[in-house]
Amino acid sequence: MLLWRRSLDSYAAAFTAQSAVMSAVTVVVGYYGGDHDLYVVAALFFLLKVILIPLILRRTRRRFGALREDSPYVNTATSLLVGGLLVLLSYAVTRPLVMLSDLPTRTGIPLAMGTVFIGLFVIISRKKALTQIIGFLVLENGIALLAILGTYGIPLIVELGVFLDVLMGFWVMQVFLYHIDQTFESIDVEKLNMLTEVTIRPVDGTVRREGV
């Protein structure tokens, strides 16, 4: 979804669906692994990533109107191809981990790693700041999935801290989204190109270009 759809609505929908599947996976792992902490994790996960964050994303959508990722740096066909290659790559890099583990969930590890890679790819290849935020959230989902499938979850108390950080980080990114929109009148990160080595910007804000 993230790779071939263009409108930001469908990105948000894809993220919500992915998060819902993940909380279900967490419950299942918690049930078969007999680890009741995971129910708490799943509940929080659901609350945070299926209800709260999509809600904020919808509010943002109302603020900015229907946004489209019209001309990403990498086009749809190439994106899908790269996505496939990234999943293959994740199978390659996680081989030693899968061979080491004896958990029944070990075959899911490469998929979790693939999610991480695809999140990274979305951040790199898309132009809208909002898409980059969603890419970051997908990346976080991948890591959380890895923790659940690979280890039946990291200690609960640390997990709580991680949730807090994700929420805060997401909130800060939202704040900056408004800042960017205010000062640049667009949320295209392509416009964020003033700070380079050749551009000198005096304090009055006018841009003077000097060759080096």
Partner 1 sequence: MLFVALLVPPLLAAALAGAVRRYRSFVGRTGVALAVVSLVAAVGLARTIVEGGDPPTFGPGEMLRADALSAVASLLVAFATVVVLALGPGLGSAREYSRAKLRRYHIFMNLFSAVMLFAVTTNNVGFMWVAIEATTIVSALLIPLSLTKGSVEASWKYVLIGSVGIAIAFLGTVIAYFGYATLVGHEAHALNWTVLVASASKLKPEVLRFSFALILVGYGTKAGLAPMHTWKPDAYGEAPAPLASLMSSALFVVAMYAIIRWKVVVDTASSDGFSDALVLGLGVLSLGLGALSVVIQRNYKRMLAYSSVEHAGLICIGLALGPLGAFAAILHLVNHTAAKSVMFLLAGDIERACGSPRIDDVRGLLRTMPWTGGLFAAVMLALLGSPPFGIFISELALFRACFVTGSYVVLAVTLVLLTVAFIAFIVHLNRMLYGSPATLDVAGDSPYWRIGVYLAVVAGLVILGISLPGPAMTLIKKTVEIIAV
Angstrom distance (rounded) from CA 90 to CA 170? 26
135 to 154, contacts with partner 1 by CB under 8 A? 136, 139-140, 143, 146-147, 150-152, 154
DSSP-derived 3-state class of residue 106 = helix
Does 97 participate in binding partner 1 (rule CB under 8 A)? yes
Terminal CA-CA length for the chain: 43
28 to 67, contacts with partner 1 by CB under 8 A? 35
Angstrom distance (rounded) from CA 131 to CA 6? 10
- CA 162 from centroid of its chain's CA atoms: 14
69 neighbors 131 (Cβ within 8 angstroms)? yes
The single residue among 62, 202, 209, 211 that binds partner 1, judged by CB under 8 A, is: 202
Does 17 participate in binding partner 1 (rule CB under 8 A)? no
164 neighbors 44 (Cβ within 8 angstroms)? no
CA quadruple 139, 32, 21, 45: dihedral sign: negative
Does 161 participate in binding partner 1 (rule CB under 8 A)? yes
Question: Of 31 and 76, which CB lies nearer to partner 1 in the complex structure?
Answer: 31
Does 194 participate in binding partner 1 (rule CB under 8 A)? yes
Q: Applying CB under 8 A, which residues contact partner 1? A: 35, 93, 96-97, 100-103, 116, 120, 123, 129, 132, 136, 139-140, 143, 146-147, 150-152, 154-155, 158, 161-162, 164-165, 168-169, 172-173, 175-176, 179-180, 182-184, 189, 192-195, 197, 200-203, 205, 210, 212
